[in-house]
Structure 1
């Protein structure tokens, strides 16, 4: 019997697969992220299982032998929850639940749960509720286990089906109501955005937990909630910022993540209007993360989905204070150098060199290189502002002007 680290946390087992599209290293990275998600949701991961497969088992996701191994561990150690790294079909969820006899979640369900915990405003709560209802609708049948046990008897088929159909109608009506509510709030928010005048809009975008809210606090001198957990920020925060004497608006948006549930992308598209309507994007990257390049790709994919990939963008490589290259002996000719051995200086000579002055390296928490950051943002915002209002460009000196105070 294993010991729980914290009696207040649920004991959780994680399950992932290794396929041709997702090798062992990538699978480990995804499970590391899933473990962080589990911790954020209030769980304590006690064991992880992976299995090499050509494709997931359509009935139980993993093979029967591995499932039996998991079942024995769950039973012996009184595990309350098993979480799968990929979205399960309603049939898989039902089958696995019968075998393991405990709570079964997938990555989508876990992220929805975290969003439900984190949503503070009425708008965010409505968006999360919509995503949950859309996720729940095809899975209602699996929730009627008390009726399934009665199937087979004469006269016992009808009521179960009727109950499920009644629930489906209720959920569909709820979805329609929530969509209508979101549409109303969207109109109100569009009016609010219109009332902000013609100030240049800058949006912070990036993977979850890269330090966007910390950076927001530094540049706006405000107290936006920031925490070392995934999805600490759900509600978009907008602040007026002045660099030099140039005012503009900065918005802190929800963080992105790989395998982001379709339901959430859809329901949160309206929140991402701040990104769509921005004049400039600050794409914040946690350069200390071993897979930051994949994070950049995931963010770009979602920006593409919301038609914002081609906006003027400055790449802000944050957390340089936490960056550590794997040390190696330069005289060892047998060693195979990988990206893990790159120093920040090495990285700057890679594809990052093509970014020119659109690549900034900072530490928001330690305020390293923030003067360089402010000057670069000022220069870009000034160019956008002067293009929009050419008659008052004399109000805002060029970044090279010695009289400019930043």
Structure 2
């Protein structure tokens, strides 16, 4: 942590990468020492302190000029405020207040303060490289941990030398970070790497998919593969149909290799009929229960919603429905859903506009495509896990996209040319071909 503290003071964007890996870092620490199990907030507090240090450094570098959230970020702030306001009409005020109180520190520090530290494209690249480096370290050490259980690493118990069989880390957090790794390693153009470094890069990409399968996280595996396939043509200059299929083939080889490595251990969870049945019996079923209660509540609740975290009420589900768009509609009504979709609209529009402006510049193009793929990937995850208040990465990726858009827009308005395109065109499996 001391090393990270020094690093973020020099390059504040690193803090965003730390936040995206923080919950896996917490499990890694808990697997090694019972101290972090008993005092589980230690890693989160340390992360928050580092984020504040990075924010202070960023403000000094910008001579105290606030960088801004962008329109999508502001819409999420409005959405969080509306969640708090919904306590006035919530059908379960206790659940609303309890969840808001519990999530508020994370929302403020991780969703709102942290992404501001990546205040320009250089800082955003630092954030993504941090995920690649720190995430790779965590991935390798977790996979080598002999105490990996059925779907996650066993956590140490304070005062003992053993591990608790029932104390397993959250496999979805590990799989989500592994998904970020797959996307960043596949799409982000680094500076020219030697052959041995590229070999390590693709080995870790395969290992990341393997870890997702080992954790039994079906949605993360499918989402990561789809995101890479969809955004490869945007990240690289694929000037022919053959080039596109070459990229898809490479992704397919990586995916199949990962699948074969671990399917013998957890492949039964990846059978298509079981996957569809499990999704229908859990995510869709609970969402329909929530929306049914919302529909039966009448016109006022259609507009306002049942209240943030109302699904925790025992008369509805007793927990969040694991389907964020449905949760937003049922708990926050048409108003909340309009705010939520507007945030997406601003982020998607910024992505398209920025990509059109930088598509001739290989490194900028790959950066924008990587951010788009990360937002797409996490958006897919919101259809099968988590709650609105707990989906920290969603506003982070939106704010980062808005930051790139703001910087490119400023260059355009000031008639300042973007840096000249690299003399190299970077393609999948081809790092040194001359541009057409």
Structure with greater helix percent: 2
Structure ID, larger Rg: 1
**Structure 1 and Structure 2 fold alike (TM over 0.5):** no
Q: Which range, TM-score by smaller chain?
A: under 0.3
TM-score (norm 2): 0.25
Q: Taking CA–CA contacts closer than 8 Å with sequence separation of 6 or more, which of the two structures ends up with the larger relative contact order?
A: 2
TM-score (norm 1): 0.26
Structure with greater strand percent: 1
